[in-house]
Structure 1
Amino acid sequence: MIEIERKFLVKDNSFKAAAFTQNHIAQGYLSSVPERTVRVRIKGDKGYLTIKGVSNDTGMSRFEWEKEIPVTEAKELLLLCEKGVIDKTRFEIQRGNHVFEVDEFYGENEGLIVAEIELESEMEPFEKPAWLGVEVTNDTRYYNAYLSNNPYKKW
């Protein structure tokens, strides 16, 4: 499956008032090479294993495969991951026909807040809320796999 996604920095915390859900996420990488990232995630009380391919030239599209796995297995796999497990809260905000996923990072990435929106096509229009900041879609520094090895606090 091809994932089409755009990423933005977030200007302030005003998005929190519009969130219809929030979940704590812990995620690590079994492989963080750009050609294929293999991620283990615990989101709330569920576990996931995800494989992502390399992004296209715009940074918006890439192959993604995800499978739900038992949370006990996800916890065990996190112990095998590369250094730098990501710790964040994900807020989901409905805006028009789309849902923004806003990640507030903790630990070594504290201070970073990134919003993502999944689209049906790279040209699909969407409503931009006032709290949405600069687009960073094609900036690999904002990929979670990069942040796990190069924390935001050390930039």
Structure 2
Amino acid sequence: MSLEIERKYLVKDDSYKALAYKQTRIIQGYLSSVPERTVRVRIKGETGILTIKGIGSASGASRFEWEQEIPLEEAKSLLEICEPGVIDKTRYLVKFAEHTYEVDEFYGDNDGLTVAEVELDSEQQTVVKPTWLAEEVTGDVRYYNSMLMKTPFTRWDK
């Protein structure tokens, strides 16, 4: 169990790809998507993962998180009973300054959306932002994966 502290940003171009040291395809669904407790099933490459997250802080930057690796076949079975909507994305890991950014490029109903998250030690920690970051969307629930499952990016009024 831990407290997850992170900030989230939109990404304005794909120049981060040349800087990425790893990329992994992720498919995920939700057994529960209520804000008080999201329960996520994820297949990350060839690994199954079950994650439970609590409600976020007022700023949206921190919340409780519990995560456990599970057998791949169990993750596939659990995905079959998830709520409607699946998140399909590639995660790129990019080191910049003292942080590692997780950049998610979405596909399917969320095609055209790319966001970057950076984990921090405290909500007050200073973030050195690379030039490919755009506006901060930390705390904007529309960009939570559990909400993108329900109201995908391609269906937003832009």
Cα drift, residue 97 of structure 1: 1.8
Aligned partner of residue 131 in structure 2, secondary structure: coil
Q: Deviations over 1:28-78 (max 9, x none)?
A: 000000000000000011110000000010000100000001111101100
Residue of structure 1 in register with 2:78 after alignment: 77
Q: Does 1:140 align with 2:137?
A: no
Residue of structure 1 in register with 2:5 after alignment: 4
5+ unaligned residues in a row in structure 1: which ranges? none
Aligned length: 155
Q: Does 1:25 align with 2:16?
A: no
Give the partner amino acid of 2:69: E
Q: Deviations over 1:86-127 (max 9, x none)?
A: 000000001122100000000000000000000000011122
CA distance in 2, matches of 1:142, 1:152: 9
Residue of structure 2 in register with 1:92 after alignment: 93
CA distance in 1, matches of 2:104, 2:84: 20
Aligned partner of residue 74 in structure 2, secondary structure: helix
Aligned partner of residue 8 in structure 2, secondary structure: strand
Aligned partner of residue 20 in structure 1, secondary structure: strand
Residue of structure 2 in register with 1:126 after alignment: 127
Aligned partner of residue 39 in structure 2, secondary structure: strand
Aligned partner of residue 27 in structure 1, secondary structure: strand
Aligned partner of residue 4 in structure 2, secondary structure: strand
Q: Does 1:35 align with 2:7?
A: no
CA distance in 2, matches of 1:22, 1:84: 23
CA distance in 2, matches of 1:15, 1:79: 33
Give the partner amino acid of 1:8: Y
Q: Does 1:101 align with 2:102?
A: yes
Cα drift, residue 13 of structure 1: 0.5
Residue of structure 1 in register with 2:61 after alignment: 60
Give the partner amino acid of 1:103: D
Residue of structure 2 in register with 1:149 after alignment: 150
| Sequence identity percentage | 62
